[in-house]
Amino acid sequence: MSKSVKTPCIGVCSTVFGDDVCRGCKRFQHEVIEWNSYSDSEKDSVLARLETLKTQIMESKVFISDQSLLKDQLEALKIVFNKETNPYCWVFDLFRHASKSIGDPSKFGFKIITKETNNLLVLKKIIEEELFELSEAHYQRYFEVGKHFNA
């Protein structure tokens, strides 16, 4: 029996307020609405896009120096993360769920490499905003165009 693909929903949906891109999970409005009717392959495609964007962002902000330590710390904090995704997505999940708990990033197996800030709460906000902007740009590039042709 195959395991169903889990939703990336984090319970902070802004598509109900008319956003084309959810400010919580960064899926597109139609993906949120149609998620339960998607095949596992379609869901995997959405998750792969989000993983690519998260990885791109996180690689520009942090360097993972000890992947095993990072994994151990996530498990110790009982943070839900997908072990099959890129480890930079693990850091994303760590920031999302425990940025207040990270005193010394080296004790979590990574270091900050961005010059933007070393304040993890500020960095978390920057990362969330950047992911939203990239998701919105992707939506506008590949889906917004179609709206004009169908009108």
Q: pLDDT, tens digit, for every residue of 85-110? A: 999 999 999 999 999 989 999 999 99
- Domains in the chain, number: 1
DSSP, collapsed to helix, strand or coil, labels residue 52 as: helix
- The torsion angle over the Cα atoms of residues 53, 22, 48 and 115, rounded to 10 degrees, is 20
Structural domain contains residue 9: no
pLDDT of residue 2: 46
pLDDT of residue 127: 97
Spatial distance between the Cα atoms of 135 and 146, rounded to a whole number of angstroms: 17
* Vertex 24: Cα angle to 18 and 27 (nearest 5): 70
Structural domain contains residue 130: yes
Structural domain contains residue 26: no
Name the pLDDT band for 4 (thresholds 50, 70, 90). low
Domain range for 90: 49-150
Structural domain contains residue 98: yes
Of all residues in the chain, the percent with pLDDT exceeding 70 is 92
Name the pLDDT band for 146 (thresholds 50, 70, 90). low
Residue 146 makes CB contacts below 8 A (sequence gap 6+) with none
Report how far apart, in Å, the C-alpha atoms of 140 and of each of 5, 41, 103, 110, 147 are. 26, 23, 38, 33, 10
Structural domain contains residue 104: yes
Structural domain contains residue 1: no
Which residue did the predictor score with more confidence, 125 or 9? 125
Structural domain contains residue 101: yes
Structural domain contains residue 37: no
Q: Would you give the DSSP letter of residue 84?
A: T
